[in-house]
Amino acid sequence: MYTPDRDQDLRWIQRAIDLAALCPPATGAYSVGAVIVGEDGTELASGYSRATGPREHAEEVALAQLPQNDPRLAGATIYSTLEPCSQRSASRTPCAQRILEAGIPRVVMAWREPALFVDDCVGVEQLAEAGVTVVELPELAGAARAVNAHLPGIAEEG
59 is catalytic: yes
Rg (CA), the chain: 14
Out of 59, 60, 83, 113, the active site residue is 59
Single-letter code of the amino acid located at 148: N
| Cβ(87)–Cβ(94) below 8 Å | yes
82 beta partners: 111
Handedness of CA 40, 43, 49, 51 (dihedral sign): negative
- Assign 113 to helix, strand or coil: coil
Nearby residues of 91 by Cβ (< 8 Å), 6 or more positions away: none
DSSP string for 32-49: -EEEEE-TTS-EEEEEET
- Assign 139 to helix, strand or coil: helix
Q: Report the C-alpha gap between 63 and 96 in whole angstroms.
A: 12
Give the active site residues.
Answer: 59
